[in-house]
């Protein structure tokens, strides 16, 4: 009966294998179906996940995360593996590097390919700081039992200078946004001030009284004369002279001294000749 692999849960354990250990021990045992007592590296198709999800899916690792990954080729007869994810793709950088044994430098134990994750779709995309080292066994004369590779995922170390530049750029962007928002608010307030109705200036009380007197004077000046109700003029028959005009009692003889009637009115000028004839 095969022994079940043991889950790794050891306090203080750190997993930092060399490239030779990854290829010549872990990957070779996985490809040829040799069971290991400790289940340190998990089996996962990483191309179904974004890089940010992989640390939580790894069994071990703090800054580096390891996975056994099946090679999903675009064509069944061979060709380039499909490394496209839902939100991006892994792009190879440079040529593959040969990994040799430290004890026997003439013996090649595998190949290493370095890839960078890009967000978006090829050929365009934005480069990220997620790096992957893909390890595979050398090509033998006969095909391998399993087409599996071992992948190490990590994030590229960011220097202090780059971090300071990012912080400076973020501060500049915040200042630009703040100035843009303040200018937009000033423009809105200026437009609102222009849209407010302009009220006429409030005149003092004496100015209002003077204006009212002028308006009343203008009305009196151009007002049509009212009809004077009184006794009608009767001319006696057979006499050549007209009798004296009877002025109503409410009209005084000083009517022409009234400042209202002293105004230059066309109607008064037409009435003066008749008044002289009537009062001779």
Question: Residue 152 has what pLDDT?
Answer: 96
Task: Locate the domains of the chain by residue range.
Answer: 6-162, 205-223+244-278
Question: How far is it, in rounded angstroms, from Cα 232 to Cα 30?
Answer: 139
Question: Residue 157 has what pLDDT?
Answer: 79
51 with 117: CB under 8 angstroms?
Answer: yes
In tens, the pLDDT along 151-191 reads: 999 998 766 777 678 788 888 888 888 888 777 666 666 55
Q: Per-residue pLDDT for 57 more than 60?
A: yes
Q: Is 49 exposed, middle or buried (0-12, 13-18, 19+ CB in 10 A)?
A: middle
1 with 33: CB under 8 angstroms?
Answer: no
Q: Per-residue pLDDT for 81 more than 90?
A: no
Question: Residue 169 has what pLDDT?
Answer: 86
pLDDT tier for residue 210 given thresholds of 50, 70 and 90:
very low
State the average pLDDT over residues 125-142: 91
- Phi (first) and psi of residue 32, to 5 degrees: -90, 10
Question: Which architecture does CATH list for 6-162?
Answer: Beta Complex (2.170)
Question: Residue 229 has what pLDDT?
Answer: 54
- Please give the C-alpha separations between residue 14 and each of 19, 25, 42, 156, 234, in angstroms, as whole numbers: 16, 17, 16, 20, 140
- Phi (first) and psi of residue 188, to 5 degrees: -65, -40
Residues of the chain with pLDDT > 70, as a percent, come to: 57
67 with 58: CB under 8 angstroms?
Answer: yes
Q: Per-residue pLDDT for 58 more than 80?
A: yes
Cis status, amide bond into 111, omega within 30 of 0: no
Mean of the per-residue pLDDT values of the chain: 75
Q: Residue 161 is encoded by which pair of tokens? A: 């200078």
Position with higher pLDDT, 136 vs 192: 136
- Phi (first) and psi of residue 180, to 5 degrees: -65, -40
pLDDT tier for residue 128 given thresholds of 50, 70 and 90:
very high
Question: Residue 251 has what pLDDT?
Answer: 47
Q: What is the pTM for the complete model shown?
A: 0.55
In tens, the pLDDT along 228-272 reads: 555 555 555 555 555 565 555 544 455 445 555 455 556 556 665
**Would you tell me how many other CB atoms lie within 10 Å of the CB of residue 251?**
10
């Amino acid at each position: 009966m095969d022994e079940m692999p043991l889950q790794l849960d050891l306090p203080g354990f750190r997993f930092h294998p060399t490239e030779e250990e990854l290829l010549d021990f872990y990957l070779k045992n996985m490809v040829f179906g040799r069971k290991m007592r400790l289940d340190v590296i998990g089996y996962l198709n990483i191309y179904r996940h974004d890089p940010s999800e992989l640390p939580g899916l790894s069994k071990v690792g703090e800054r580096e995360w390891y996975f056994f990954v099946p090679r999903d080729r675009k064509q069944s007869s061979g060709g380039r593996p499909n490394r496209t994810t839902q939100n991006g793709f892994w792009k190879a950088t440079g040529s593959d590097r040969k990994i040799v044994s430290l004890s026997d430098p003439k013996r090649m134990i595998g190949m290493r390919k370095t890839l960078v994750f890009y967000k978006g779709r090829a050929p365009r995309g934005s480069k990220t700081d997620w790096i992957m080292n893909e390890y595979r066994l050398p090509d033998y004369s006969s095909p391998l039992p399993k087409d599996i590779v071992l992948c190490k995922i990590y994030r590229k170390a960011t220097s202090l200078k780059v971090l300071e530049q990012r912080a400076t750029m973020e501060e500049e962007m915040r200042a630009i946004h703040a100035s843009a928002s303040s200018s937009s608010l000033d423009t809105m307030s200026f437009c609102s001030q222009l849209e407010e109705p302009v009220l006429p200036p409030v005149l003092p009380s004496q100015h209002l009284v003077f204006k009212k007197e002028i308006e009343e004077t203008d009305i009196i000046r151009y007002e049509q004369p009212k009809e004077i109700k009184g006794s009608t003029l009767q001319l006696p028959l057979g006499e050549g002279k007209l009798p004296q005009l009877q002025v109503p009692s409410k009209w005084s003889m000083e009517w022409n001294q009234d400042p209202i009637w002293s105004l230059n009115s066309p109607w008064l000028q037409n009435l003066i000749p008749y008044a002289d004839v009537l009062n001779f």
